[in-house]
A and B are shown apart, each in its own frame.
Chain A
Amino acid sequence: MSPVPCRILSVKQELQDTYTLEIEPPRDDWSFLPGQYTMLYAFGIGEVPISISGDPSDPTKIVQTIRAVGAVTDALVGLKQGDFVGVRGPFGTDWDTSVAEGRDVLIIAGGVGLAPLRPVVFDVLNHRDRYANVTLMYGSRSPGELLFASQISEWRGRFDLEVLVTVDHGDDAWRGPVGVVTSLIGRSSFDGETALAYVCGPEVMMRFTIQALERKGLTNDRLYVSMERNMKCGIGLCGHCQLERFFVCKDGPVMTCAQMAESCWIREV
């Protein structure tokens, strides 16, 4: 399965080191499910898995948000409109939103973990009548590092979506909450006996979030997380991303804590 060269439609700088690329899909019938990722190939440099951060109802472009943290991602964010990037996918499991129908929905993101969860927000808002209370909780390092800040402001203006944002470290202009994202859980009203949560962020943040949600009555079959491992092939062959009995590239990245069982607590392999 070779990368298909795809044209970059636009590049937007989100944060100092984070950019969103809009890419022409490799084929007319291209589509994806919230939570899936593609392998993006910077020609001659390398290939990395990147979550899709766009609206699943819009198949005309692949939207991917990339943080520059190494050689490949540095190259990807350096691309310009009209350049080409290699695309494979979409791969992996999705945030199954059908199971959330009729329930309170908690979408909990930390840092750039909001990018893989943004398609869930789009999807839920596109079919808002299917869900009970919907809450987005987002934690960031500082006010200047809030991803999709203008979109968050827009979402805050809606009456059918509760948006709670906190930062680890405020600044002089910040008037909102200061503290970790788990501190927002107590501020949201939801039915812990039936609610469903989608969680994405650094693993330590997800572990503490899971514990906080369990204290509120959520069971592990209603806790969805997105795992990050060293994904290479995307189809469960190479074994780079193996986590116990799972290949995260194929069996994940999105899994329930019930599937993961104790694997949630195994130190990174």
Chain B
Amino acid sequence: MSEVFDVVRDQPFFAGMTEEQIRAVAETARLVSFDEGGVIFVEGGPARRAYLILDGDVALSLRTQEHGAKTIQTLHRGDFVGWSWMYPPYRWSFDANVQSEVTAVQFDGPQLKKISLADPELGYELLKRFTEVIVTRMQALRIQLLDVYSTFR
């Protein structure tokens, strides 16, 4: 528990939260690792966890009949992976494949929701951080959609 707490406390993602709040969050977490070539989750599977990457690289991909698995985005140290546990139908929207050996903090999604409901101030702090991640990713995907390099000279 204390090792997880130390790791969680040191993550920039949680900067600004009180020690008590971080302790509550750390109680839902454990340290995990995944080998290169492994799979963290697959599209359509039940989404109950979130991961904060401590080291390594993760590729989010979608599989289509025409193109096979297509990497949409890669995530790296300090990035959060997965928020499908927050909203119905609680199923992953992508595959998360391990590009290089990953160590991560794994959070229990339902537990995070439970402590957020019990302590709305903590819930707000968490939601602010997850929302920032979602907005940043959405902005990045919008730029990708623009295909800005195709006409740039």
**Chain A contact residues, CB within 8 Å of chain B:** 67, 69, 73, 110-113, 139-141, 145, 166, 168-170, 172, 174-180, 182-183, 186-187, 201-202, 204-205, 208, 228
Number of interface residues, chain B, beta carbon within 8 A: 25
Contact A186–B78 (Cβ < 8 Å) = yes
Measured in the bound complex, the distance between the Cα atoms of B57 and A171 in whole Å is: 17
Measured in the bound complex, the distance between the Cα atoms of B71 and A113 in whole Å is: 24
Which residues of A have CB within 8 Å of B150?
A: 141
Give the segment of B15-23, B27-35, B38-46, B140-148 that binds chain A. Answer: B140-148
Partner of A208, one of B72, B73, B139, B152: B139
Q: Please encode chain B, from 69 to 89, with 1 for each CB lying within 8 Å of some chain A CB and 0 for all others.
A: 011111011110000000000
* Total of A-B residue pairs, C-beta within 8 Å: 70
Which residues of B have CB within 8 Å of A183?
A: 73, 140
Name the distance in Å between A253's Cβ and chain B's nearest Cβ.
13
Q: List 24 A-B contacts (CB under 8 A).
A: A67-B153, A69-B153, A110-B152, A112-B152, A141-B147, A141-B149, A145-B149, A168-B147, A168-B149, A172-B68, A177-B57, A177-B74, A178-B71, A178-B74, A179-B144, A182-B140, A183-B140, A186-B79, A187-B76, A187-B77, A204-B148, A205-B148, A208-B143, A228-B153
Is B106 at the interface (CB under 8 A from chain A)? no
Measured in the bound complex, the distance between the Cα atoms of B51 and A113 in whole Å is: 35
A73's closest neighbor in chain B, by CB? B153
Known: A180-B144, A208-B139, A208-B143. A113 touches B152 (CB 8 A): yes
Known: A177-B57, A178-B71, A179-B140. A140 touches B78 (CB 8 A): no
Which residues of A have CB within 8 Å of B79?
A: 186
Partner of A112, one of B72, B147, B153: B153
Which residues of A have CB within 8 Å of B146?
A: 204
Measured in the bound complex, the distance between the Cα atoms of B144 and A139 in whole Å is: 11
Is B102 at the interface (CB under 8 A from chain A)? no
